[in-house]
Amino acid sequence: MAATINDSRPKLSLSEIINMSVGFFGIQFGWDLQRANMGRIYENLGANPDQVPLLFLAAPLTGLLVQPVIGYLSDKTWHPRWGRRRPYFMIGALISSIALLFMPHSSALWMAAGLLWVLDVFGNVAMEPFRAFVTDKLPDSQVNRGFIMQSFMIGLGGSIASALPWMMKNLFHFQNTAAPGDIPENVKWSFYLGAFFFLASVLYTVFTSKEYPPQAPGHKEEATKSRRGFGGGFGEIMHALRNMPPKMRIISLVQFFTWPGLFLMWFYYTTAVAVNVFGGKDANDPVYAAGADFGSLTLAYYSVVTFLFALVLPVIADRLGRKATHALCLLAGALGLISVAWVTDKYMLFVCMTGVGIAWASILSMPYAMLSGVLPKDKVGIYMGIFNFFIVLPEIIASLGFGWLMRNVLHNDRLLAVQVGGALMIVAAVICFLLVKEGKERCLV
């Protein structure tokens, strides 16, 4: 069936687009809390730097299965009151918020890794249908605006979440150090607030946004078949994987090299700042704690850059084209990561993170905008899940292999790991600029 451009949907007002995007504020709040703090939590619980990637492994392995399945199920779901995507928003937000509440009470590495697994799985349950939500509700002329608004909310949520440990220490005077095997008070309270914002913002979107009934012929029969078992669903997922549009294949390759750079930053950046920039010794050192808090603050700053840059990104993309815009933004992010090694004053980190914020705004919107018009409208959920394979697979590879590289090649130098991430982002930028073709295609599936 050929994909058609979805211009039959009525245009939504700015307030309606904001309402349907607020949930992403909370989802990103949860993601950025764990990204900015899990490496620190693991080291507080006794992990060595080369062990950190492996402790992130369970979540992406599960996400590899969860993302396309949730996409498939949400494509086939329809409830007269709750709609197609919103039930998944609610379930994912509720269980993720519970995991956020328990995370700072982890007493052992296995407990923290298990809660991270729960958080990632159900974070994906909440997040995955949000990408399809934009395509469901907006006509093609507003799709860019929908994804950019999601980027704005992601940047806003991420900036507050990443800054929370620093704010809790410097504004509310919670302790930022703890005895071995414990989690600092400023991190604990950050996670408590994260649980509230995650759930509250998703519920806001659920209760202020409506969904259109599915128009595809035979949707009810498809939904009935999907409830009978997953055999047909698995076959449909594999069929979609084999028949990805050519443009989607190239953009997926760009994603494959982009995301390791981000994962390595999230694995090691805050602890690299604590050790390499501040000169801290270990997780029990007050200098290390101050450096980790400052590193989280600079991560918050890159999220501020993200939501501000998201306001001008559509204008740049209209002028330069989507692929050139995305390639240039990726190069800015790569320079930001690599230049962390040149920092001699802690405030220079804000300059480095400016580049990362520019890249992050584009990563959250341009790949999805480049796919606009390519995907069959009745299978957007499945294809968005498959597209996220190329986010999850690099995390699995990094989790399995980077510990060995850290131990035997990089000698547990966290700063070098961050720079490797920047180099991979350069590769992604080159692939994007040289191989992605501008314009829309039709996908026959």
Residue by residue, pLDDT tens for the chain (445 residues) are 333 444 567 888 889 999 999 998 999 899 888 877 888 888 888 888 788 778 877 667 777 777 778 877 888 888 888 888 899 999 999 999 999 999 989 988 889 989 988 988 898 888 878 877 877 888 877 877 787 788 788 878 888 888 888 899 888 989 888 888 888 899 999 999 999 999 999 999 999 998 887 664 444 444 444 444 445 567 777 887 888 888 899 999 999 999 988 888 888 898 899 998 999 887 778 898 889 889 888 988 988 898 789 888 888 988 898 899 999 999 999 999 999 999 989 999 999 999 999 999 899 888 988 886 677 777 777 887 788 888 888 878 877 878 888 888 888 888 999 999 999 999 999 999 999 887 654 433 3
- The three-point CA angle 121-126-131 to 5° equals 115
Q: How far apart are CA 282 and CA 271, in angstroms?
A: 9
124 and 68 Cβ atoms separated by less than 8 Å: no
Q: How far apart are CA 230 and CA 145, in angstroms?
A: 35
418 and 272 Cβ atoms separated by less than 8 Å: yes
Residue 365, phi then psi, degrees to nearest 5: -135, -45
pLDDT for 376: 76
pLDDT for 424: 96
In order of 300, 338, 391, 414, the CA distances from 395 in angstroms are: 22, 20, 7, 17
Taking alpha carbons only, the member of 257, 260, 252, 265 closest to residue 356 is: 265
H-helix or E-strand spanning residue 115: helix 109-137
pLDDT for 6: 45
pLDDT for 321: 87
pLDDT for 232: 58
pLDDT for 438: 73
Q: How far apart are CA 230 and CA 406, in angstroms?
A: 40
Q: How far apart are CA 278 and CA 293, in angstroms?
A: 11
Q: Cα torsion at 313, 319, 325, 331 (round to 10°)?
A: -100
Can you tell me which residue has the tokens 């443009």? 247
Taking alpha carbons only, the member of 359, 298, 355 closest to residue 159 is: 298
CA 383, 384, 388, 390 dihedral sign is positive
- Does residue 78 sit in helix, strand or coil? coil
How many other C-beta atoms are found inside a 10 Å radius of the C-beta of residue 385? 32
pLDDT for 95: 95
Q: What domains does the chain contain, in order, with CATH numbers? A: 14-209+240-435 (1.20.1250.20)
pLDDT for 81: 82
What the block records as the tokens of 198 is 């995650």
pTM of the full structure: 0.73
Taking alpha carbons only, the member of 161, 151, 160 closest to residue 17 is: 151
In which region does residue 282 sit, left (phi positive, over 0), alpha (psi from -120 to 50) or beta (all else)?
beta
At residue 103, what is the residue type? M
pLDDT for 233: 64
